[in-house]
Amino acid sequence: MTPAERIGAMRQGGAAASRMLAAPLIRAGVALALVIAVGIIFHADGAFFKVATHRDAFRQGSVFGILACGMTVVVISGGIDLAVGSILALVAVSFSVMSIWWQWPAGAAVVASLAVGTACGVISGGLVAKLRLQPFIATLAMMVFARGLAKTFSGGTKVSTAIPRPGGSFDYAQIPEVFRWIDSRTLGGNVSMVTMIFAVTLLVSWIALERHRWGRELYAIGGNEEAARLSGVPVGLSKTLAYAFCGLTAAVAALCQAAQEQQGDPEAGAGYELTAIAIVVVGGTTLTGARGGIGFTLIGTITIGYLDKILSINAVPEASRLMLTGAIIVGAVLAQRRGRT
Amino acid sequence: MSASPIVALKGIGKSFGETAVLRDVDFNIHPGEVHLLAGENGAGKSTLIKILAGVYQDYSGSIELEGTAIRPRSPADAQALGIAVIHQELSIVPSMTVADNLFLGGFLCRGGLVSDRLQRAEARKLLSEFGVDVDPGGLAGDLPVSAQQMIEITRALRARARVVVMDEPTSALNAVDTERLYGLIARLKERRCGIVYITHKMEEIHRVADRITVLRDGAFAGAAKASELPIARLIEWMVGRTIDKQYHRESPAFGAELLRVENFSVANAKAGLPPLVCDASFSLRSGEILGVAGLQGSGNSELFWALFGALEQRPSGSVYFAGERFDARSPQASIRKGIALLTNDRKATGLVLSMSAVANITLASIARHSPGGWRRSQSERAAAESAARSVRLRAASLGMEAGQLSGGNQQKVVLAKLMETRPKLLLLDDPTRGVDVGAKFEIYRLMNEWTSTGTAILLISSELPELLGMSDRVMVMHRGRVSAMMDKAEATPQRVLAAAMGQRPERIQ
């Protein structure tokens, strides 16, 4: 091999490696690996190696992960949904009112609650697709509106098993069976039910995006809405459905949240929309749309979830944790960006 | 005749990738003279202007300003050197006042704060100097286009421009405003400014020009004093003498009438402006290629969009497609009916650059590959592969993002997408724009192939020889109206260009 050939071969090898690194999914995986490496180094006297730690990390991340699935679908279409935190509160309140106050059967309460979340999404989607409001504005309005509706519906208090009576005393109801079921563990106690619900949400979202015509349409709209329209894509319908789906996942997250807290808190979910967006972005789905997917969001969820867990088992104070998380979001996104020029 | 030019461009050359768009062009701008730069769409006029204006820096050749070599590195740099360009698209900030617009980028300040009073006083002085009658405190966006243009010109002159370039300044002006602009130009000439003027309007040429230079296919085609140049000669320079044999239209076999359009009109989305298409009537047989000639603003692209149902505003008139009345409501409905549109800007409206070639090719026919909504990747891939073969797409892999393909291959992806919808009528708006020569030939071959199976084509081309070479008949449009309909034998470049400029053919013959 002449020196020139050797340099050529080295360049080729280097190019192959950098091409590998350029694959966005791998870049996202590298970020996750780094976080896990940090966990192994700062294992907090072996706490990081316990099954319970991982189970809890997943349980705590699941509600955000479920929200992030719907958010991913909207972001791929070139939009954003700021209302998911408020929709979560509204549905958590609705679910608790139906299950605790009205004693509805579990199936009816679940279906009606999911319908409430989906309806909110349909309204956001309609504002975006039919009235052509900017997604930011339309969902900001829905965010404020749904929060108000949640407070109206709950009478401004938390809806719990302590039911207030006119005289000022309380009736104490049983915790509904469906709450207990959602908050239980499965697979020999190793996996929380909410994590299973997250897994199912992931799977459904993945199938919708990767295997259904609708997903392809969303990628096309996010990439070039005008080209999509001229190719006969029903742009308005597809977009509306994206927000509807996001509302549905917010409702699913709300069921989990209500079951875990054993109450419907009209103040719940404040700021969750930002965590969901952070997960989507850290995973590697671009906020401008068209690039990314559910696989990225899974990695983003685990990255953010582990980061939080590692900081908490090492007893990093809340204030520092927030600052660190902010810095890490910027770092992760900058690393992603270098992949695409 | 003035002695030395203000600006001299010498031996300018410029290419985009493989394609040379300018070759060894000389162009001089003399003080107190209007130098008209003429040529067909795509002849290289805009590129030359952009080089002078500092938009492009990677060109060959040199530019001299009053004898010293310059090389504008940015539009701001060019402006500082005294070169002002009035682009076709105005760069007015509609939400700011006239005075703010005049001093944009260099607001007049007093004590570090922008002084409205100072700006308005100064603006009033400037505006009256150039005979522009507008209130400096009014919002620029409330003014008619002509007044906005005057403001833009005034702004350019405020920076003591020695050379003013105007790119089709009258395209949005009515007769009165056009006269006003001519008055302004006369005033600029008195100040010994050099003016470069680009226009597509025949009637303007002798009205404003002192000197004319014609570009053709990126090269110098001729130059003369305006008073010594008959129009027939000018057109000859613009189109060249012969049509190349490269446009091989195979002997067509026409079938029954496929499309009949009667009194078709499309209103302008902006109120108060003339309609985009006005009272157009024509018909098309299956297997036929009807060329639709027209310069910028002729409405031929808009005609395509309206026929395809892609415009907001509903057209009036009647369209019969395959014997039935057809009102295009949406692109979706038109595609189902068997109509396909290729837009003239594949990046903006043709492709989803972030998606794979397969996804792009199957985008318009996705329903066929997803019974019940569930996509069948196998079926998509097979269809994309066979479509890619038939358009001779060259891509390392069909999984590549469309944005990574070359211009010619991107265009083939769009064509493959259209053909996958199995259209009976193709609306092709400049199908060979930005495409290398090899791909051009293949696109011509495909057009022959498709028409031989009965597909009809409406064709727009920014290259007149291509349009004449590939069309069986030519329809010419001028400002929204059909100004001529010619058979292949009648359609000489001279006649078509004259009709496109709104002249009766007899007057130049």
pLDDT by residue (tens digit) across B298-313? Answer: 899 999 999 999 998 8
Query: Distance between CA B199 and CA A285 in Å, rounded?
Result: 46
With an 8 Å Cβ cutoff, are A220 and B336 in contact? Answer: no
The token pair at B471 is 């069309």
Per-residue model confidence (pLDDT) at position B1: 45
Q: Which residues of A touch B336 (CB under 8 A)?
A: 232
The arithmetic mean of pLDDT across residues A269-288, rounded, is 92
Can you tell me which residue has the tokens 């917010």?
A: A250
The arithmetic mean of pLDDT across residues A119-127, rounded, is 98
With an 8 Å Cβ cutoff, are A232 and B364 in contact? Answer: yes
With an 8 Å Cβ cutoff, are A216 and B343 in contact? Answer: no
Q: Which residues of B touch A220 (CB under 8 A)?
A: 352, 355, 359, 363
Residue B366's closest chain A neighbor by CA?
A213
Displacement of CA B275 from its chain's centroid (Å): 18
**Is A12 a domain residue?**
no
With an 8 Å Cβ cutoff, are A220 and B355 in contact? Answer: yes
With an 8 Å Cβ cutoff, are A227 and B352 in contact? Answer: yes
**Is A73 a domain residue?**
yes
Q: Is B468 helix (H, G, I), strand (E, B) or coil?
A: helix
With an 8 Å Cβ cutoff, are A228 and B363 in contact? Answer: yes
Are the CB atoms for B74 and B18 separated by under 8 Å? no
Rg (CA), chain B: 25
CA distance, residue A204 to nearest chain B CA (Å): 13
| B286 closest CA partner among B449, B452, B122, B127 | B452
Give pTM, 2 decimals.
0.79
CA distance, residue A132 to nearest chain B CA (Å): 14
CA distance, residue B372 to nearest chain A CA (Å): 9
Q: Over the range B264-303, which residues count as b (16 or more CB within 10 Å of their CB) and which as e?
A: bbbbeeeeeeebbbbebebebbbbbbbbbbbbebbbbbbb
For A23, phi then psi, to 5°, come to -60, 120
Per-residue model confidence (pLDDT) at position A340: 45
Query: Distance between CA A138 and CA A177 in Å, rounded?
Result: 37
Query: Distance between CA B224 and CA B144 in Å, rounded?
Result: 36
Report yes or no for ipTM above 0.95: no
User: DSSP secondary-structure letter at B275?
Assistant: P
Are the CB atoms for B491 and B468 separated by under 8 Å? yes
Query: Distance between CA A146 and CA A120 in Å, rounded?
Result: 8
The arithmetic mean of pLDDT across residues B244-268, rounded, is 86
Among B308, B363, B373, beta carbon nearest to A214: B373
Helix axes A318-339, A24-41, angle to 10 degrees: 150
With an 8 Å Cβ cutoff, are B341 and A230 in contact? Answer: yes
Among B354, B375, B421, beta carbon nearest to A213: B375
Q: Which residues of B touch A209 (CB under 8 A)?
A: none
B16, B17, B19, B25 alpha-carbon torsion, rounded to 10°? 50
Among B343, B355, B417, beta carbon nearest to A219: B355
CA distance, residue A291 to nearest chain B CA (Å): 7
> Which of A230, A287, A291, A340 would you mutate first to test chain B, the one with the most B CBs within 10 A?
A230
- A194-200 long-range contacts, Cβ below 8 Å, gap at least 24? A194/A59, A194/A62, A194/A63, A194/A256, A194/A259, A194/A260, A195/A55, A195/A58, A195/A59, A195/A62, A197/A62, A197/A66, A197/A252, A197/A255, A197/A256, A198/A58, A198/A61, A198/A62, A198/A65, A198/A66, A198/A301
Scan residues 411-470 of B and list those with Cβ closer than 8 Å to A.
Answer: 417, 421
Number of domains in chain A: 1
Strand pairing report for A170-172 and A162-164: antiparallel
CB pairs under 8 A between A and B: 75
pLDDT by residue (tens digit) across B143-173? Answer: 877 788 888 888 877 777 889 999 888 776 7
Question: What percentage of chain A has pLDDT greater than the value 70?
Answer: 91
With an 8 Å Cβ cutoff, are B335 and A232 in contact? Answer: yes
Query: Distance between CA A327 and CA A241 in Å, rounded?
Result: 34
The token pair at A153 is 């519906």
pLDDT by residue (tens digit) across A306-333? Answer: 988 999 889 889 898 889 888 888 887 7
Q: Which residues pair with B64 in a beta bridge?
A: B8, B69
Residues in chain A: 341
B370 close contact with A: CB closer than 8 A: yes
Q: Which residues of B touch A216 (CB under 8 A)?
A: 359, 363, 366, 375
**Is A10 a domain residue?**
no
Per-residue model confidence (pLDDT) at position A5: 52
Q: Which helix (H) or strand (E) holds B484?
A: strand B481-487
Are the CB atoms for A210 and A281 separated by under 8 Å? no
Per-residue model confidence (pLDDT) at position A21: 53
**Is A2 a domain residue?**
no
Per-residue model confidence (pLDDT) at position A74: 98
Query: Distance between CA A131 and CA A142 in Å, rounded?
Result: 14
pLDDT of residue A19 exceeding 60, the answer is no
- Identify the residue with better confidence: B288 or B103: B288
**Is A11 a domain residue?**
no
B372 close contact with A: CB closer than 8 A: no
Q: Which residues of B touch A217 (CB under 8 A)?
A: 366
Are the CB atoms for A178 and A261 separated by under 8 Å? no
- Within 10 angstroms of residue A288's Cβ, the number of other Cβ atoms is 11
Question: What percentage of chain B has pLDDT greater than the value 90?
Answer: 48
CATH code at A46? Answer: 1.10.3470
What are the C-alpha distances in Å from B11 to residues B2, B197, B264? Answer: 22, 20, 47
**Is A263 a domain residue?**
yes
Give B437's pLDDT tier (boundaries 50, 70, 90): low
Q: What is the 3-state secondary structure (H, E, C) of chain A?
A: CCHHHHHHHHHHHHHHHHHHHHCHHHHHHHHHHHHHHHHHHCCCCCHHHCHHHHHHHHHHHHHHHHHHHHHHHHHHCCCCCCCHHHHHHHHHHHHHHHHHHCCCCHHHHHHHHHHHHHHHHHHHHHHHHCCCCCHHHHHHHHHHHHHHHHHHHHCCCCECCEEECCCCCEEECCCCHHHHHHCCEECCCCEEHHHHHHHHHHHHHHHHHHHEHHHHHHHHHHHCHHHHHHCCCCHHHHHHHHHHHHHHHHHHHHHHHHHHHCCECCCCCCCHHHHHHHHHHHHCCCCCCCCCCHHHHHHHHHHHHHHHHHHHHCCCCHHHHHHHHHHHHHHHHHHHHHHCC
Residue B358's closest chain A neighbor by CA?
A216
**Is A6 a domain residue?**
no
Q: Which residues of A touch B366 (CB under 8 A)?
A: 213, 216-217
Can you tell me which residue has the tokens 């269809």?
A: B383
Among B373, B374, B417, beta carbon nearest to A231: B417
Q: Which domain holds residue A282?
A: 29-338
| B175 closest CA partner among B207, B210, B152 | B207
**Is A272 a domain residue?**
yes
Q: Which residues of A touch B353 (CB under 8 A)?
A: 223-224
| Burial class (CB within 10 angstroms; exposed 0-12, middle 13-18, buried 19+) of B75 | middle
Among A212, A226, A234, beta carbon nearest to B348: A226
Per-residue model confidence (pLDDT) at position B245: 54
Give A228's pLDDT tier (boundaries 50, 70, 90): very high
Can you tell me which residue has the tokens 């008949």?
A: B473
